[in-house]
Amino acid sequence: MRSCACLVLSVLCCGCAAPVEDGAPLAVTYLANEGFLLESGGAMVLVDALFAGEEIEYCDVPGGALRAEMEAAEGRFADVDLVLDTHAHVDHFEPCSVAAHLRNNERALLVCPPQAAAAMQAECPGDGEIARRTRALALEPGQSIELVEDGIRLTALRLRHGRYLVPDEETGRQYDRHEKVENLAYLVELGRWRILHLGDAALSQNEDLLAELKLNERPLDLAFVPCHCRDPESLRLLAERIAPAQVVWMHLPAERPRKEALAAFLAQAWPGSTVFLEPLETRTLSAPGAPRM
Ligand SMILES: [Zn+2]
């Protein structure tokens, strides 16, 4: 039987933010694709937002001015405490964009899978100072690890990335091009808020791991779920194994009519769920367990 590693690490931050104010509202700002800024009680977490120096035809990308603001760690991004990357795909992570933010924000810590850290080392090696603030988490599928940084408690969970079947060039046989992608989901605890971001996990392909991880044992306020999890089996697992009070769908197409049509479907598939249609939209939740955004 697979062992589920559940370790707890204390990590030291550089800026040492004040503890998160308990009972504060939670503000969620959509940036692009699966990229979000989470803010509560003086703590800020940036997830999967620093990517795409160029257009990507199938999803929103952070536009030039927005990406520049994030890389410069200016404006609303000046006080980010944690930068999270779920995996090293181009629609989630651009090594030099992440490195730029860390260079300009000395308080921020990066948490990511080893594949992302290796890409940064190869493409934007820096002087070692950024590597010192990088936590590359080597986890096997089904393993999890907990980090505590001031008032932010973070659990990283390795879940399988959604399959992408393509024919092998030599044999013609189908294989999963994403099988070896290190996809980390993150459970972020800000004060009393418990928030899960799944990255590109496909729930229907993780049933065994979800059973082991027991995410449904404690109330979850909000789950960010990729829209490819709209199949009946994934929706069942979302309800039974994750059971969030609220759902935000992510990884929607960029083209507006397709996005709106999918948003209408998702609103029926999970009543009360949220789809952000435009980058920089912000929704604020007043209290954990609140019925809708
Ligand atoms: Zn991906």
pLDDT one-digit tens code per residue, 243-273: 999 999 999 999 999 999 999 999 999 999 9
CA of 87 to the centre of ligand 1 (A): 7
CA of 61 to the centre of ligand 1 (A): 14
pLDDT on residue 17: 47
* Total length of the chain: 293
Q: Chunked in runs of 10, what are the mean pLDDT values of the chain (293 residues)?
A: 42 47 89 97 96 87 94 97 97 96 96 97 90 95 90 94 92 92 97 95 96 93 96 96 96 95 96 95 83 59
Residue 119: domain span? 6-272
CA of 38 to the centre of ligand 1 (A): 21
Single pTM value for the model:
0.92
Q: What total of structural domains would you count in the chain? A: 1
CA of 287 to the centre of ligand 1 (A): 31
Residue 279 within a domain? no
CA of 269 to the centre of ligand 1 (A): 23
CA of 201 to the centre of ligand 1 (A): 8
pLDDT on residue 68: 96
Residue 146 within a domain? yes
For residue 226, what is the domain's CATH number? 3.60.15.10
CA of 290 to the centre of ligand 1 (A): 30
CA of 251 to the centre of ligand 1 (A): 10
Residue 288 within a domain? no
Residue 237 within a domain? yes
CA of 89 to the centre of ligand 1 (A): 5
pLDDT one-digit tens code per residue, 97-150: 999 999 999 999 999 999 999 999 999 988 889 999 999 999 999 999 999 976
Residue 40 within a domain? yes
Residue 285 within a domain? no
Residue 191 within a domain? yes
CA of 197 to the centre of ligand 1 (A): 13
Residue 280 within a domain? no
Nearest to 29 by CA among 276, 290, 255: 276
